[in-house]
Chains A and B, each alone.
Chain A
Amino acid sequence: MNTVNGSSADGPTQESTKRLQAKKQTLDDAYAAPANFLEIDVGNAMTHGFARNRYTDYEIRLRTNLPIFKSKESSVRRRYSDFEWLRNELERDSKIVVPPLPGKAWKRQMPFRGDDGIFEEDFIEDRRKGLEAFVNKVAGHPLAQNERCLHMFLQEPVIDKNYVPGKIRNT
């Protein structure tokens, strides 16, 4: 009888409600804003230049509370080739699998088209969505966040393509 009672006491009846003692969360922690805020919008597409030098660029607005970013809010203008530059830099240095870009549109740059080619509104909107998804994926990646090129792309007014690649350390 004793063994039966003994085995059931450490058996399923007690185990099924068992928990480890948890530290109590402080109210500050419970109600403070989460520390993982990072939002990047790509929008406000504008076409600059004339004739053969025409290009479209986009506004990249970033809002965050991650300490790794120099400023909590920033806005820069970038064109598609800048995204390509960023992707190449990450591909080379960061050892992460970089997501693909929305794709180059060679065909749309051929002359004698019936529409506006790469300046067609639908195309720009599609590309904007793709770029937004790309930049959010990349900027949220813990390993990419250490790369200098990402911070330059997101927050410096001008990209210095002759920069010294490297990691930035959190201060």
Chain B
Amino acid sequence: MSFLGFRQTADIDVVLDCSDTRKLAEIKTEDGKKERHYLYYDGETVSGKVNVTLKKPGMKLEHQGIKVEFIGEIELFQDRGNHHEFTSLVKDLARPGDLLQNTSYSFEFVNVEKPYESYTGSNVRLRYFIRVTITRRLSDIVKDVEIIVHTLSSYPEVNSPIKMEVGIEDCLHIEFEYNKSKYHLKDVIVGKIYFLLVRIKIKHMEIAIIKRETTGIGQNTFNENETLAKYEIMDGAPVRGESIPIRLFLGGYDLTPTMKDINKKFSVRYYLNLVLVDEEERRYFKQQEIVLWRKGDKPRTRIQQQPQQTVEQKQKE
């Protein structure tokens, strides 16, 4: 009823603790723009202050309670409006009453579980945010502040190379090898193609990185393929016995970790597609799944920081 102009309204600001030291991360929004938000990891405490600024000094704001929530949710674009919350924590900041002046409340969600990585795809979005609600009789005042979560993995225990011999009978036999099956996001794919038999006229060869986003379950699964990169690795026709080296830097592309069956709602997988193109533009290809994972920048210093934080907080209390 604010348009009537006589009711009190308020602005809500959320200031996260250590917001000057905390790193920012970028994430694409649905319309392709990039946004920057504070970056959190699984298990970290989310704390901060909620500042309520009254717009009209001298007038009181009646409310039915003020609360702050930490929400992690998955939104499938095929059924919009249906948000699946997998994490939801609530803290009450104030009992029903009146606000007479600008007030700030501090809140703390201790060691919050953030099991999944923030993700915006073509059919699904996974996001975390802090929502402050001032409950009122007719319309609530709500403020959402988004944060980004990255999931870190340690170096995989088994990381065998991918090596395979493929071809078309009596036409083209090749052997390809990629040095690993699991790459971190800034990794380098080192590999080679070895030609065993060449009876077609090859014009060039390229490697494509394909992202496959699967949403839904059972019969309602929906796949979306996107070619993120095309990288030429050979120009011209090879003969038998030739080796073509591959060195593909993943850091240059916009990749996320591989995500498998996130909350039984969606998956994001990555494939290397090796494509040979002949003189008549016929294309011969072989797809191979690779697992992408996010490596921690400085795992050791981060672990050291965390206990310090908790000590400080205890001192405050």
Contact = CB atoms under 8 A, between A and B. Distances in A.
Nearest to A7: B298
A71 B241 CA distance: 26
Contacts of B188: 12, 15-16, 18
B201 A140 contact: yes
Interface string A14-42: 01101110110110011010111010000
Interface stretch (B37-45, B109-117, B275-283): B275-283
Contacts of A142: 168, 171-172, 200
Contacts of B249: 16
Contacts of A66: 199
Nearest to A66: B199
Interface residues of A, number: 28
B170 A18 contact: no
Interface residues of B, number: 34
A30 B245 contact: no
B177 interface: yes
A36 B198 contact: yes
B119 interface: no
Interface stretch (B70-78, B145-153, B189-197): B189-197
Contacts, number: 77
A170 interface: yes
A86 to B, nearest CB: 17
A140 B249 CA distance: 35
B98 interface: no
Contact of B280 (A3, A18, A140): A140
Contacts of A170: 170
B35 to A, nearest CB: 28
Interface string B205-247: 0000000000000000000000000000000010111110101
B278 A140 contact: yes
Contacts of A35: 197-199, 239-240
Given A22-B192, A22-B194, A140-B278, A32 B239 contact: yes
A140 B203 CA distance: 13
Given A15-B190, A18-B190, A36 B201 contact: yes
Contacts of B278: 140
Contacts of A30: 239, 241
A141 interface: yes
A130 to B, nearest CB: 15
B101 interface: no
Interface in B51-108: none
B237 A34 contact: yes
A153 B169 CA distance: 23
Contacts of A105: none
A145 B187 CA distance: 42
A18 B177 CA distance: 14
Contacts of B298: 3
A161 to B, nearest CB: 27
Nearest to A32: B239
A25 B242 contact: yes
A9 interface: no
Nearest to B280: A137
B300 interface: yes
A37 B59 CA distance: 90
Nearest to B242: A25
B168 A34 contact: no
8 contacts: A3-B300, A12-B188, A16-B188, A18-B247, A22-B194, A22-B245, A38-B201, A140-B282
Given A19-B245, A35-B197, 14 more contacts: A12-B188, A20-B177, A23-B194, A29-B239, A29-B240, A35-B199, A36-B201, A38-B201, A68-B170, A140-B201, A140-B279, A141-B280, A142-B168, A145-B171
